[in-house]
Structure 1
Amino acid sequence: MRADTLQPESAVSVQNGPRLQNKVAIITGSARGIGAITAATFVRQGARVVICDVNEELGRQTAAELNILGRPFSSNGKPTAIFSPVNVMNTESVEMLFQSALDLFGHVDILVNNAGITRDAQLRKMSEADFELVMDINLKGVFNCGKVAANQMAKQEQGGVILNAASVVGLDGNFGQTNYAATKAGVIAMTQVWSRELGPKGIRVNAVAPGFIETPMTAQMPQKIFDMMVQNTPLRRVGIAQDVANAYLWLASDEASFINGAVIRVDGGLRIGT
């Protein structure tokens, strides 16, 4: 075999060094949990991040910690992370969020639509208020952020990347989650529509669909239910936030430059065959 056949065909085939060097990422719902771990993962790969959340105190704390983490990767004197409060249900708030990023960094390369909530109940007991709140944050919020991001990224020569938080329940449902499952199915549909609309503008749109991931919420589960979910997962373990963050990192990087309109399941095989 000729040695030159092993060389990458382009500069993005194999990346050396930080995978998100000089990229600017906005991550919603990133004061804690998967969002915060994703932000830290991006920072370690050379990105600047905007932490945005309704929890201002925790958000500022997370941004401060990321600035310490990012010191070895900082080269231009600008902070590694800033905090910007946001209400994703409100278009004006979202526009202010993006403007704060543009004022400091000059561009936005990555949006991770991570913000979301649950208000679980069986259909007959679910209140209209809980249904609408989950819809407003999980679906309308993704729409609001995605629209503002698309308008900005379309102006940029380098385009951009939009990553949406879906879920395996958006693919085949889950007991007691009418509202949540509906929003995640909607997010998957929007991801596929946007990938068609925005691809010609150099904007890639993909979704990550986690399965059973260890979070503060799962810590409150009855042990019997927790054990059952682990047994139903072929890898026989619960996922962790870093598993999801790693998927976002790959999709955000140039290594995934030809990935568009995909829904990446991070579920340990939980929904194989569905």
Structure 2
Amino acid sequence: MVAGLVSGRLALVTGAGAGIGRAACQVLSREGATVIAADRNYDAALETIKTHTALACGSNDKGDHCAVELDVSDSKSIKSLLQKIQEQYKEPPRIIVNSAGVTRDNWMLKMSEEDYDHVLNVNLKGSFLVMQSFARMMSEAAVSGSIINISSIIGKYGNIGQANYAASKAGVVAMTKSAAKELGKFNIRVNAILPGVIDTQMIKTVPDKVKESMLKMVPLGRLGSPTEVAEVIMFLSSDKSSFITGAAIDVTGGF
């Protein structure tokens, strides 16, 4: 069997229970990675591992895939995961995909402080805590790695009813660029992906009229698939992108 692009590497994917996170698990698994699927919804993460990873493909000689419950906004939850990984795999993940994210949309004048804080805590602070913890683990073990943070095209252009979400995703890009400058000396690359209108559960909550108006702004004229984003995650995870760090890549169909 031909070795995959990330054969033998350990990968941690947050938000792995659905959408882009689930697709990332599938593609990374297909290319030989051992996947740790992390999600606040443990059953959804377990479903990803059981049903949506390419268990028959690639070389998983570092151990079996696993599902874990994780609240990225809680440093205690992340610390617990660190300990589990050290016990089970005896090495740090060399691929980190920060895909956990939430929305709590409302007009800015009606948005509650609670809804603003919740979105920033998960999308921005959560990405920071995961990145900080696992970059430290990589640097202490003296291993190279790749961190991929999932932002959004909304972080670049903004969107009605999403002041909190736009702020969080814009912050992810700026944080990514700063982290890339700091972590390069450890041979840890950090990049961001800005998906556009992707066919996930999140887009299903958008009213049809709003969705139609958004699609009119996509030159390719359709929703993107989670797998199309996951293939870019795979590229950034592999040695094919070995001189790319601090980048923010749009995956939008031209939005």
Would you say same fold, with TM above 0.5?
yes
1:33 alignment counterpart: 19
2:116 alignment counterpart: 131
**2:73 is the counterpart of 1:89:** yes
Point out the more displaced range, 103-112 or 240-249.
Answer: 103-112
SS at match of 2:147: strand
**2:17 is the counterpart of 1:23:** no
Alignment gaps of 5+ in structure 1: 1-15
Distance 1:75 1:189 in 2: 34
Task: Note closer, same or farther for the CA distance 1:156–1:263 as it changes in structure 2 (3 Å cut).
Answer: same
Give 1:70's aligned amino acid: L
**2:196 is the counterpart of 1:173:** no
Q: How many Å apart are 1:156 and its aligned residue?
A: 3.0
Alignment gaps of 5+ in structure 2: none
Q: How many Å apart are 1:17 and its aligned residue?
A: 3.5
Distance 1:194 1:96 in 2: 23
Q: How many Å apart are 1:61 and its aligned residue?
A: 2.1
Once the two structures are superposed, residues 118-159 of structure 1 have per-residue CA deviations (whole angstroms, 9 ceiling, x without a partner) of 001111000011001111111110111011011011123332
Distance 2:47 2:221 in 1: 34
Distance 2:99 2:233 in 1: 10
Distance 1:77 1:250 in 2: 21
**2:240 is the counterpart of 1:262:** no
8 Å CA contact 1:43–1:66 kept in 2: the answer is no
Question: Which runs of structure 2 are paired with 1:1-274 in the superposition (5 Å)?
Answer: 17-66=3-52, 69-74=54-59, 76=61, 78-79=63-64, 81-107=65-91, 108-270=93-255
1:8 alignment counterpart: none
8 Å CA contact 1:165–1:209 kept in 2: the answer is yes
Give 2:113's aligned amino acid: E
SS at match of 1:123: coil
Once the two structures are superposed, residues 146-187 of structure 1 have per-residue CA deviations (whole angstroms, 9 ceiling, x without a partner) of 110110111233321111011111112111111101111111
SS at match of 2:141: coil
The percent of aligned pairs where both chains have the same amino acid is 37
Count of aligned positions: 253
What TM-score do the two structures reach when normalised by structure 1?
Answer: 0.88
Give 2:21's aligned amino acid: G
8 Å CA contact 2:22–2:52 kept in 1: the answer is no
Distance 1:221 1:92 in 2: 33
Q: How many Å apart are 1:220 and its aligned residue?
A: 4.1
Once the two structures are superposed, residues 73-109 of structure 1 have per-residue CA deviations (whole angstroms, 9 ceiling, x without a partner) of 3453831x10111111111211221222232222210
SS at match of 2:69: coil
